């Protein structure tokens, strides 16, 4: 039998007979590795240890120390073990698919009776019984006819349909966990006992159409989470508990910020308190953009389809666009328009007005652009995922040799904005050229090199997202981490050589000839709506004082103090502080509880002692203690806190 050479991660090479398995290689390296190994990598492909290796390969063994691979397999095996448990408990249930998702997995089932909370506990118990059996996980490759007949014989119609959808030349891998079988690409662990029995939990049940099509059967989807150990599971469950307390929809009601209703799906009704946050954030961004050399523009909401066809959006994005048909006077056919889903083609129209010189570049153009995109109703989520939103959109028109400098300037701008809003650090993901793209390799080389160089000069080593760039150019994605450790992708910065070409944008170069500008698409917050939701959840409603919609409530302890309450409110308002009086005939503890629930940052309590001494008792949100302070000192201190950070 011919020999093959395996190259290990440290560069060492080992020679083995062709057909050796990953498990056999692990055993040859060391007894301890053989015991701890659960999967391997062959030329970058994640595989079961039982699969044969037939050619020279780069080879690596994975153990529980390899977080990404360990979690993938734990969660994948949990999906299969859960499906086995369900069918052992209810043999008439039909199984479909069970992929790994962030933090866990789900599996869709066809069952007449709905799963209950008690059922989830029963399934968890059965899963632990299966894990404790430590039964082997084995795999075989079957031909299509054999696999289809197997599932027909076992009355599993969804599996038959899945096989019909698989390309004819793709191998069909059949996995057994003990005596329970599933169709799967793998890989999987070596036996059920490798799944930690105390590190998973079934979370919820939801409805899901088969293959996401509303014309198909409605299935039941069970979600689970799984980790490497019980401490990680406990930390995750605590995070979810904290996230529920911070849910922007819950806090939005308590703070009276906004509401949404069926008559306007995916659209937001902003209440006065919420609109103060919105306009305060917008005013801040406008000042920051002014300081950084942006010109602000505004473009139409409804644009003829001809422009969307010319830009390429009609072909690639039409299903997400709201179409408007108008009977134009004297026209033979209806005029077809669309509510704009993005602002970029309109910004090129402004750039194209008048002759531009190389001396005019870079031109930094910004718009608080109201956009509308059709999102499926099932994808809508509070103000985080909506159909109508406003972007802090910007486009920088520049020369090729200005890409790196403009990128560096933008990263510093973005860093300052995020810091002012309470996010001290962020991560950057770098997405390079996809397989299908416009532009030459030479142009892509320049764009990618410029983005990477500027990011590294800013002291940031980006995480690579291979092949995830837009078809027109590479991009940077800026990811914030909130107060409870969740990541939110907010800002983007993309290089575009294509749209200026499509929409015939040009400038006169130093050589007197016409040249195409490069277009840098950038957004810092993303959409105001989503970013406000992130702010609310990260700060648990306790927004920075300057951005809080209700900054101070001055509350009377006794009725005789009411006149002084109004005097204090007037003094605060005169310094630009949003203050209001609460002189209701209620106990002070009741008032404090109510305004604390509404996340008012400062409550000033006033009784007769404060009236006589011209002081106020100050209670800060989240603190039980109060302090008695001189009125003038309090007004001065709060006025400073009410000043946006860019104006200090």
**Active-site residues: which are they?**
344, 373, 391, 393, 395, 475, 521
For 140, the token pair is: 């075989």
For 364, the token pair is: 């930094």
- Cross-strand pairs, 464: 430
Tell me the H-state helices in 292-395: 305-311, 313-317, 344-351
- Do 14 and 6 meet the contact criterion of CB atoms below 8 Å apart? yes
The DSSP line for 612-623 is: HHTEEEEEETT-
- Do 483 and 432 meet the contact criterion of CB atoms below 8 Å apart? no
Q: For residues 70, 75, 80 and 84, what is the CA-based torsion angle, rounded to 10 degrees? A: 120
For 543, the token pair is: 């927004």
Identify the CA nearest to 302 among candidates 348, 268, 269, 335: 335
- Do 339 and 409 meet the contact criterion of CB atoms below 8 Å apart? no
As to burial, measured by CB atoms within 10 angstroms (0-12 exposed, 13-18 middle, 19+ buried), residue 481 is middle
Whole-number Å distance between alpha carbons of 17 and 55? 9
CA 196 remoteness from chain centre:
29
- Do 166 and 172 meet the contact criterion of CB atoms below 8 Å apart? yes
- Strand extents, DSSP E, 330-415: 335-339, 363-372, 388-398
Whole-number Å distance between alpha carbons of 602 and 463? 41
Pairing of strands 363-372, 294-296: parallel
| Measured CA distances, 177 to 162, 191, 272 (Å) | 20, 7, 58
The alpha carbon dihedral of 299, 302, 306, 309 has a sign of positive
Tell me the H-state helices in 369-493: 403-420, 441-457
Q: What are phi and psi of 370, to 5 degrees?
A: -80, 125
CB burial string 58-75: b at 16+ within 10 A, e below: ebbbbebebeebbbbbbb
CB burial string 225-252: b at 16+ within 10 A, e below: bbbeeeebbeebeeeeeeeeebebbebb
């Amino acid at each position: 039998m011919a020999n093959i050479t395996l190259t290990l991660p440290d560069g060492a090479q080992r020679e083995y007979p062709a057909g050796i398995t990953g498990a056999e290689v692990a055993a040859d390296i060391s007894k301890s590795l053989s015991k701890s190994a659960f999967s391997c990598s062959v030329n970058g492909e994640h595989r079961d240890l039982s699969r044969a290796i037939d050619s020279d390969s780069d080879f690596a063994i994975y153990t529980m120390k390899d977080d990404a691979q360990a979690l993938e397999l734990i969660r994948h095996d949990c999906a299969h073990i859960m499906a086995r448990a369900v069918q052992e408990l209810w043999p008439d249930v039909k199984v479909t698919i069970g992929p790994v998702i962030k933090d866990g997995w789900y599996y869709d089932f066809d069952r007449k009776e709905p799963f209950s909370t008690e059922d989830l506990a029963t399934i968890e118990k059965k899963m632990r019984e299966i894990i404790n059996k430590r039964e082997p996980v084995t795999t075989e490759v079957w031909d299509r006819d054999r696999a289809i007949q197997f599932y027909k014989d076992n009355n599993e119609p969804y599996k038959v349909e899945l096989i019909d959808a698989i390309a004819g030349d793709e191998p069909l891998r059949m996995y057994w966990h003990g005596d329970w079988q599933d169709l799967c690409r793998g890989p999987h662990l070596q036996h059920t006992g490798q799944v930690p029995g105390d590190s998973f939990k079934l979370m919820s049940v939801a409805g899901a159409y088969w293959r996401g099509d509303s014309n198909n059967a409605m299935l039941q989807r069970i979600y689970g989470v799984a980790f490497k150990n019980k401490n990680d599971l406990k930390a995750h469950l605590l995070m979810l508990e904290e996230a529920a307390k911070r849910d922007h929809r819950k806090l939005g009601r308590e703070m009276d910020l906004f509401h949404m209703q069926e008559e306007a799906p995916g659209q937001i009704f902003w209440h006065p308190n919420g609109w103060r946050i919105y306009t305060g954030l917008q005013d801040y961004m406008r000042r920051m953009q002014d300081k950084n050399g942006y010109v602000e523009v505004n473009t139409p909401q409804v644009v003829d389809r001809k422009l969307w066809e010319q830009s390429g959006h009609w072909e690639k994005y039409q299903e997400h666009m709201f179409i408007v048909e108008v009977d134009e006077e004297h026209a033979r056919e209806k005029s077809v328009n669309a509510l704009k889903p993005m602002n970029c083609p309109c910004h090129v129209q402004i750039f194209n007005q008048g002759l531009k010189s190389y001396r005019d570049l870079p031109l930094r153009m910004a718009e608080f652009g109201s956009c509308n995109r059709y999102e499926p109703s099932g994808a809508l989520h509070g103000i985080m995922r909506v159909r109508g939103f406003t972007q802090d959109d910007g486009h920088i028109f520049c020369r090729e040799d200005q890409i790196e400098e403009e990128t560096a300037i933008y990263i510093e701008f973005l860093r300052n904005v995020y810091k002012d809003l309470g996010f001290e650090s962020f991560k950057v993901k770098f997405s390079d050229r996809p397989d299908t793209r416009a532009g030459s390799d030479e142009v892509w080389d320049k764009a990618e090199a410029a983005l990477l160089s500027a990011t590294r000069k800013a002291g940031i080593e980006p995480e690579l997202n291979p092949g995830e760039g837009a078809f027109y150019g590479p991009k940077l994605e800026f990811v914030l981490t909130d107060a409870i450790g969740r990541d939110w992708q907010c800002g983007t910065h993309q290089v575009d050589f294509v749209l200026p070409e499509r929409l015939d944008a040009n400038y006169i170069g130093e050589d007197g000839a016409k040249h195409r500008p490069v277009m840098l698409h950038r957004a810092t917050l993303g959409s105001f709506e989503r970013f406000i939701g992130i702010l609310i959840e990260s700060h648990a409603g306790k927004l920075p004082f300057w951005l809080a919609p209700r900054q101070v409530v001055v509350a009377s302890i006794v009725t005789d103090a009411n006149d002084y309450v109004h005097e204090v409110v007037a003094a605060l308002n005169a310094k630009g502080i949003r203050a209001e009086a609460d002189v209701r005939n209620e106990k002070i503890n009741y008032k404090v509880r109510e305004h604390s629930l509404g996340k008012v940052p400062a409550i000033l309590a006033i009784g007769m002692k404060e009236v006589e001494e011209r002081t106020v008792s100050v209670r800060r949100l989240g603190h039980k203690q109060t302090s008695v302070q001189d009125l003038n000192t309090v007004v001065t201190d709060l006025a400073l806190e009410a000043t946006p950070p860019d104006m200090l």
